[in-house]
Amino acid sequence: MTSLSHVGSSDLAVDLGTTNTRVYVPGVGVALDEPSVIAMDVRDKAVLAVGRAAKVMIGRVPQSVHVISPLRRGVIAEVNATREMLRHFLRTVVGRWHVLQPRMAVVVPHGTTQVEKRAVEELGRSVGARKVYLIEEPIAAALGAGLPVAAPGAHTVVNIGGGTTEVAVMSLSGIVGCESMRIGGDDLDEAIIQHIRKGHSLLIGTRQAEELKLAMGSTLLLGGEVGDGPFIHEVKGRNLLNGLPRSIGVSVHELREALHEPMTAFLDAVRACLERTPPEWPDGRWRTPRFFARWPSRPEDEQK
């Protein structure tokens, strides 16, 4: 990426997510992808860490340090903390790519109120944006996935976040129907934790569970996999029988078992949501939704 440091631009796009923040720079791609977490000193509000560095501090800091996720369900819950976090993130990006007083597109969840929108615009300006444009998340997700949202006909996107999932049907660049569900990638992590606890009397943390999911979580048979599958991923945790640390290898097959239940619940929720969408679409294309997480960093995920 350093070879791209000469790229000058006055535009940025920001996905200020509840779980992760991503900053996109035209010509560069995703220039920053960090957890939406900030660690601050309780007494003087000094910023101690942001992003990944702050996330690893969760549960490991004295009372004088606050480690928080300043957004809730995509909406700014703690204004000052969000501003400080974004300012630190942008400093990294701006320093590296010389983006000065950018025009900034910021993604907001569908259904964001006027007051919440104004808060995002103010936030953008307070961190140095010359102009702030708001884009509704499902539209941004669809554009990121390369769907022809401006074309007539219905286009459905299922945008999976950490704690919430949005199912949106779009046509002619507008949102025809959208529903948000309180189910997301974190629920898959939780299911993995429970499965390993029951099957191996091993307690693993959420970070280990997410790693496992990202490394080889699947609901389909993977290429080259036979029976129990050649894919094994090691996880470390605490043996619940004697309290000592222990590692085990988890197979892709076992992981699929762990994910079966939450994935079924997930699909049921999406199906129920689609059933509430008006059925009068001429081509019925909405019945084949496209799934992906993480806009806009991994458009290739959408293929999976």
Which helix (H) or strand (E) segment holds residue 196: the answer is helix 185-200
For residues 192 to 231, the per-residue mask of contacts with Mg ion, x marking binding by CB under 5 A and - elsewhere, is ----------------------------------------
Closest CB 161 distance from Mg ion, rounded Å: 4
> How far apart are the C-alpha atoms of 124 and 16, rounded to whole Å?
11
Strands (E) in the chain, as ranges, are 11-16, 20-25, 29-35, 38-41, 47-50, 65-68, 71-72, 75-76, 103-108, 131-136, 155-160, 165-171, 174-181, 202-203, 232-239, 245-251, 290-293
Contact call for residue 17 and ligand ADP (CB under 6 A): yes
**Number of C-alpha atoms within 13 angstroms, CB side, residue 188?**
26
Contact call for residue 70 and ligand ADP (CB under 6 A): no
> How far apart are the C-alpha atoms of 36 and 19, rounded to whole Å?
5
Site for ligand ADP in 185-244 (CB under 6 A): 185-186, 210, 214
Contact call for residue 180 and ligand ADP (CB under 6 A): no
Site for ligand ADP in 148-167 (CB under 6 A): 160-162
Q: Which is nearer to Mg ion, 254 or 291 (CB)?
A: 291
- The site that binds ligand ADP (CB under 6 A) totals a number of residues, namely 16
Q: Which is nearer to ligand ADP, 17 or 229 (CB)?
A: 17
Contact call for residue 18 and ligand ADP (CB under 6 A): yes
Contact call for residue 290 and ligand ADP (CB under 6 A): no
Q: Which is nearer to ligand ADP, 81 or 154 (CB)?
A: 81
Closest CB 108 distance from ligand ADP, rounded Å: 12
Name the residue among 216, 291, 224 with its Cα closest to residue 257: 216
Name the residue among 126, 27, 113, 134 with its Cα closest to residue 84: 126
Instruction: Look up residue 233 and give its amino acid.
Output: H
* DSSP designation for 287: G
Tokens of 14: 């920001």
Q: How far is CA 281 from CA 141, 262, 278, in A?
A: 21, 30, 7
Contact call for residue 17 and Mg ion (CB under 5 A): yes
Q: Which is nearer to ligand ADP, 166 or 254 (CB)?
A: 166
Q: Which is nearer to ligand ADP, 20 or 82 (CB)?
A: 20
Name the residue among 19, 300, 73 with its Cα closest to residue 181: 73
Partner that binds at residue 301, options Mg ion, ligand ADP, none, CB closer than 5 to 8 Å by kind: ligand ADP
Contact positions toward Mg ion, by CB under 5 A? 17, 161
Contact positions toward ligand ADP, by CB under 6 A? 17-20, 160-162, 184-186, 210, 214, 293-294, 298, 301
